Amino acid sequence: MRGINTREGTTVTISVPDNRDVFQQMMDKFLKEAKRISSLRNGHIIELIDFFEENGTAYYVMKYIEGKSLSATMKENNAPLTENQVRSLLPQVLDALRCIHEHQLYHLDLKPGNIMQEVDGHICLIDFGASKQLSVAGSRTLSTTTGLSYTPGFAPSEQVSGNMKRIGPWTDFYALGATLYNLLTNSTPPEENDIIYDGEKAFNFGSMSPEMQALILHLMNPRYDQRPQDIDGVEKMVSELLSQSHGNPIINSGYIAKETLSSSDELEYKSETDIEQKRHESEEWKLGEEERIWYTQTARQIGAPLEGHTGCVNSAAFSPDGKRIVSASEDKTIRIWDAQTGKQIGYPLKARTSWFDFFESSNGFYSAVFSPDGKRIVSASLDNTIRIWDAQTGEQIGVPQEGHSDEVRSAAFSPDGKRFVSASLDEAVRIWDAQTGKQIGNPLRGHTDRVCSVAFSPDGKHIVSASYDKTIRIWDAQTGKQIGKPLEGHTDTVCSVAFSPDGKRIVSASADKTVRIWDAQTGNQIGNPLKGHIKSVNSAAFSPDGKRIVSASDDKTIRIWGFSASW
């Protein structure tokens, strides 16, 4: 603080005694900012490692971000971002705002310069120097007596005038609208007075989509009571925006049942741009009665949807080498696709009830996955059975595995491919010998309601299951005994569960609209629930490097979450 204090070596002293109160006030503000940030545990908010007083001043230590701000990116390219780029990063910004607002905080300086993008595309919100917090009683408090700071063009009248009675979530939403405008035009947003007098003419939207224009106009409404009043309102609007086609957005309309991350990075994206030449990990999602493949670095859909199924597609998964995709549908078929061309390989796989009975099963399939060596496929069927298929010929291997007394919702191979595990609405988990098709040991029982998801740990020693009883359970894959107590925290059906690649963490998705992360060793929940979806979350999985989580929801969106190993 030039003119108030001086620094000699590492020690800070007050230059003029009369400045002591001002210095203390500013240092208190600095420490308050540190305390506010330390309370926020979210992958899209800068992580504060430590803060302390030393040498007559205060310090805080923050995580180093390898990347640059969005404003720096625009300055470097001398161009705005594309709308597809903005659409792909918008859910990450909203996730950060949700966390901030749930902690009774307002950022009050949201702008491209305070949004960092890491080299892998992950978004992180920084700079809480202007943030304000509600008191326990709900009244708004200033951190200093000097009023509210703001950035021209990004602040509404209630912030510019310092009217604390009107500061609220909607103040950040105005800045969000201004941020979107700046990112898409590379020009300063219009002042609020210009919007009041000129309306839409104050903006230069250019080629921006009508849906994005409408969102910005709503967020930047000069009347604070005409903007969205909470984060749920904004997320609903954004969900509707992202469901509208604009090029090939990462989020599209349609019912999403499940998504699977590829363990391979061999799939290439073919289009006009030069980025197709880069090797990258691939992710696939299916919507409605078709499947779509998406390029993760640009959030662009790869080619046309994979069409052929005539009923709801309940699951899709890559082969271990990433060259094929298997899908399971309620149209009573399993189909294999060439991941490069999108063409179906061979005929649909249709169930038969025995070696000599060629009548088709009257029920559809809920899931299908490849074995670790890619030579076989295991499927879970609505006719209460599990089937093994030859992935090359498409022929069913042996007879169906029977034992469950209700629909089988999930099946998965062990890492060595010698066993597979199944989960059923009969409340049981069963382990099978993949070679003989015989059940190993007794059913794993403990859930008090239907079991809808199951998975082996990467080392094959444990099994995790998820149930309508709102719990997650971990089992010893050798003895079949439950390990520890159920993992509790979800307030509705746990729809999906999966281990991290290193086996140390578990991710779960629930009808309570949240995704949660758990310590696989202790069973404790790690950090706060990941919130952002506005309807049931049907599936969640880690990326192959364990640094991201992808989730799919009934709200017609897919979200990618940054994951910190320190959580």
Q: Is the pLDDT assigned to residue 433 strictly greater than 90? A: yes
| pLDDT tens per residue across span 345-356 | 999 998 754 433
Give 220's DSSP letter. Answer: T
Of 1-5, 301-305, 318-322, 563-567, which has the strongest mean pLDDT?
318-322
Q: Is the pLDDT assigned to residue 403 strictly greater than 90? A: yes
Which residue spans within 371-469 are E strands per DSSP?
376-381, 386-390, 396-401, 408-413, 419-424, 428-433, 439-445, 451-456, 462-467
pLDDT at 36: 67
pLDDT at 506: 95
C-alpha atoms less than 13 angstroms from C-alpha of 108 in its C-beta half-sphere = 26
Q: Is the pLDDT assigned to residue 285 strictly greater than 90? A: no
Q: What is the mean pLDDT of residues 441-463?
A: 96
- Helices first, then strands: H and E counts in the chain: 8, 37
Q: Is the pLDDT assigned to residue 137 strictly greater than 50? A: no
Give 478's DSSP letter. Answer: T
Of 15-19, 85-89, 293-297, 355-359, which has the strongest mean pLDDT?
85-89
Lowest mean pLDDT among 25-39, 194-208, 225-239: 25-39
Q: Is the pLDDT assigned to residue 381 strictly greater than 50? A: yes
In the numeric block, which tokens belong to residue 475? Answer: 């089992």
Q: What is the CATH number of domain 67-242?
A: 1.10.510.10
pLDDT at 279: 28
d(CA 252, CA 557): 7
| pLDDT tens per residue across span 162-195 | 777 788 889 999 999 999 999 999 999 998 888 8
Quick one: angle between helices 83-102 and 169-185, nearest 10?
160
Q: Is the pLDDT assigned to residue 488 strictly greater than 90? A: yes
Q: Identify the band that residue 465 occupies on the pLDDT scale cut at 50, 70 and 90.
A: very high
pLDDT at 439: 94
| pLDDT tens per residue across span 220-261 | 998 888 899 998 888 888 877 776 545 433 333 222 233 343
**Inter-residue contact 158 to 174 (CB < 8 Å):** no
DSSP one-letter string for 305-332: EEE--SS-EEEEEE-TTSSEEEEEETTS
Q: Identify the band that residue 298 occupies on the pLDDT scale cut at 50, 70 and 90.
A: very low
Give the CATH fold of the 256-562 domain. Methylamine Dehydrogenase; Chain H (2.130.10)
Instruction: For the chain, give the percent of residues with pLDDT over 90.
Output: 32
Q: Is the pLDDT assigned to residue 474 strictly greater than 90? A: yes
Q: Is the pLDDT assigned to residue 97 strictly greater than 60? A: yes
Which residues make up the CATH 1.10.510.10 domain(s) of the chain? Answer: 67-242
Q: Compute how many other C-beta atoms are within 10 angstroms of the C-beta atom of residue 253.
A: 14
pLDDT at 281: 33
Tokens 């063409």 found at: 343
Q: Identify the band that residue 100 occupies on the pLDDT scale cut at 50, 70 and 90.
A: confident
d(CA 463, CA 36): 39
Q: Furthest-apart CA pair in the chain: how many Å?
A: 98
* Sheet-wide strand order for 505-510: 494-499, 505-510, 514-519, 525-531
Q: What is the Cα gyration radius of the chain?
A: 26
pLDDT at 58: 72
Rounded to 5°, angle at Cα 298 from 263 and 288: 70
Which residues make up the CATH 2.130.10.10 domain(s) of the chain? Answer: 256-562
d(CA 87, CA 22): 43
Q: Tell me which amino acid residue 341 is.
A: T
